[in-house]
């Protein structure tokens, strides 16, 4: 389970990566990996450490879809929206996922179990449509297979 934002731990990450503005994206990636999101405290902290404005940091956070500002659920479900997956039915799969989970894209369930997000290519085009649950990619996913994967224990 990812921990809540911790300045001391974040400082270690920043130092390990390099506390320079050129490393902002890599620092933000590490913060998401370690803390699940980049909240307002993290934006202020990174801006101070890198001598950037909060607007500069916020702009980068809001540009990249993986830089979420709210914690992700225990299971992060990403459905590919790229052209190959769309051609093979990811739009219908996305609609099914939203309905069956009772979630819209970019939302987390009230119990904090599942976050549903779009992704724009998982590199699994030959097996479209593809999804990712946490760090595992699945191909040729239809509504039935989606339901199986979601109901399977972690």
- Length of the chain in terms of residues written: 154
Please write the tens of the pLDDT for every residue from 88-116.
Answer: 999 999 999 999 999 999 999 999 999 99
Element (H, E) at 77: strand 75-80
Across residues 65-74, what is the average pLDDT?
90
Provide the whole-model pTM.
Answer: 0.83
Q: In the chain, what are the domain boundaries?
A: 7-63, 75-151
Mean pLDDT estimate for the chain: 95
Write the CATH number of the domain with boundaries 75-151. 3.40.30.10
With a cut of 50, say whether residue 60 has pLDDT above it.
yes
Check residue 65 and give its pLDDT.
Answer: 82
Q: In 3D, which of 114, 125, 121, 123 has the Cα closest to residue 147?
A: 114
- Residue 46: phi and psi, rounded to 5, are -65, -40
């Amino acid at each position: 389970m990812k921990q809540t934002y911790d300045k001391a731990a974040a400082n270690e990450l920043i130092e390990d990566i390099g506390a320079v503005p050129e490393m902002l994206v890599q620092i933000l990636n590490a913060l998401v990996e370690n803390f699940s999101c980049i909240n307002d405290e993290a934006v202020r902290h990174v801006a101070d450490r890198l001598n950037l404005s909060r607007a500069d940091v916020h702009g980068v956070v809001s540009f990249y879809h993986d830089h979420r500002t709210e914690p992700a659920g225990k299971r992060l479900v990403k459905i590919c929206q790229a052209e190959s997956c769309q051609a093979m039915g990811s739009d219908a799969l996305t609609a099914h996922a939203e309905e069956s989970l009772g979630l819209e894209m970019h939302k987390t369930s009230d119990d904090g179990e599942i976050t549903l997000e779009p992704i724009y290519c998982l590199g699994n085009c030959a097996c479209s449509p593809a999804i990712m649950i946490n760090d595992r990619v699945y191909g040729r996913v239809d509504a039935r297979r989606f339901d199986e994967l979601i109901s399977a224990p972690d």
